[in-house]
Amino acid sequence: SMECKMVCLWVLYSSFDVILSLRPTYPFYVTQLLIKMTSHSPMDIQRLDTVCHNDNTVDLLLLSLGHVGRFSSRSLIGHRVSNKITPGLLSVIFLTGGADNAGGQAMIWWLVPLSGRGQISMCQSILTSFIKSPKGHQVIFALQRTMSYSTDEVLLQTVKNKGIITLNRPKALNALNLSMVRQILPALREWEKDKNLVLIKGAGEKAFCAGGDVRAVVESSLKKDKLGQDFFKEEYTLNSLIGTYHIPYIAFIDKITMGGGVGLSVHGKYRVATERTLFAMPESAIGFFCDVGGSYFLPRLGGKLGLYLGLTGTRLKGGDVLKAGIATHYCESSQLDQLEKELLDHGNSSADVEKILQTFSKPVNDFSLAIYKKQINQCFSAPTVEGILARLQDDGSDWATSTLATLKKLSPTSLKVIKKLIEEGSTKSLQDCLAMEYRVACQFLESISDFHEGVRAVLIDKDHAPKWKPATLEEVTDKLVERYFAPLPPDQELVL
């Protein structure tokens, strides 16, 4: 019934302390949900008023629905003009642009009773006094605690002095693009100053983040556009910030977490995997390399596991992500909402966060790759990629045969560049690794390369039949590999 919907609506609002802030330049997503729940008639508003008995909630509803154009100003005053102008309503007017601009004055004009239209200046005075009062500060603080400002691609929200980032491109598996990086990076810098923690997660039922939007990068580079250079420079800067973040940074790596999604998570202090997590660094399949700090974290996984994962693109699922050292905690996906609530309600210090994460952590089964550990270390400790393939050939087991077949399909250039990156990165800081990776990325973008061919074959034409150039490992000389690591002009280097 409509009454039930209204009660649900009231619970929604009260659970978020009543969101009192509307930013006209951004979509108001709670309102979108709200609109779907109501039939948008004045009678619904009357019923809501009856059910909630909360002037501020109704004021917010009216203004938000008016804001997105579902009610005309005259429809709003048809219900509200006879009631008092509450401080909550004035607060919303102030925070949606203020009573001193045209929008604020227009809103006051329509909401002030006809008899009072000559007293707009008095309303402005009342508004200003209220905003400056202790009660006004309290209302605004409550509002800002739950303020959500967003675009379609990223949702940035603060709740109880905690920051929440939601990657919001579910149809694209939350693939990361330059626009998203440019929203997340300044938010993280700002939140680090005064928030208790930051939580990052992905929207939809398929992915946390399936990687960077490399198709857009490749297509732009073919047009001699510098989108790729800008994207990688700013993405790696974001990876560096996450790796040095001073407050708890928690990534819910539920579902697909690959490439750029790994960069958004693995460098943070806490990474929570679930039974649905699917991890991989699959760049060799598209003629690229394990970037976003892959040269830093892969050689630190123990033994030759990181090199094995980086070269083959092998996928890890569920508890294996914890056992490999990619995740720090494991939680059932059905418990993620409750975990988030606990973190937002009680995660006010690093000790609190540690305790909460530990409470929700569950034991996992043995590492599925444990039975191959000796073979991985033996085969992938060869001094060259050719040597790795030779050792796999000599091993002859089903695992070795399958791994050998996988490697033979991948870009020879990528394989040799990845091996050198991981070896170099084993003794470098995260920042030095990212600077090194940026040089390599720029070289991959400079000319038509295996990167372009791999993206064409896998993501554009989808024929999955790339023509690698050079086509064999023997043709990829040491001199050719070294070229990818050559310094850039000083003004183009990534400085962190």
Selecting among 88, 243, 260, 454, the annotated active-site residue is 260
From 66, 88, 202, 212, active-site residue: 212
Q: How far is the C-alpha of 145 from the C-alpha of 141, rounded, in Å?
A: 6
Which conformational region is residue 359 in: left (phi greater than 0), alpha (psi within -120 to 50 degrees), or beta? alpha
The answer to whether 71 touches 38, Cβ cutoff 8 Å, is no
- Residue from 44, 235, 283, 437 carrying the catalytic annotation: 283
Both tokens of 303, joined, read 């033994």
Give yes or no: 386 in active site.
Answer: no
Strand partners of residue 258: 280
CB 28 within 8 A of CB 68: yes
d(CA 94, CA 97) in angstroms, rounded, equals 6
Indicate if 268 belongs to the active site: no
- Cα angle for residues 394, 399, 400 (degrees, 5° grid): 25
- Which of 158-171 are b and which e, b meaning 16 or more Cβ less than 10 Å from the residue's Cβ? bbebbbbbbbbbee
Task: Decide if 283 is catalytic.
Answer: yes
For residue 132, the one-letter residue type is K
In the set 59, 235, 254, 291, the catalytic residue is 291
Q: Torsions phi, psi of 347, nearest 5?
A: -85, 70
**Structure-token pair, residue 237:** 């800067």
Note if 366 is an active site residue.
no
Tell me how far apart the alpha carbons of residues 310 and 416 are, in angstroms, rounded to a whole number. Answer: 11
Known catalytic residues are: 212, 260, 283, 291
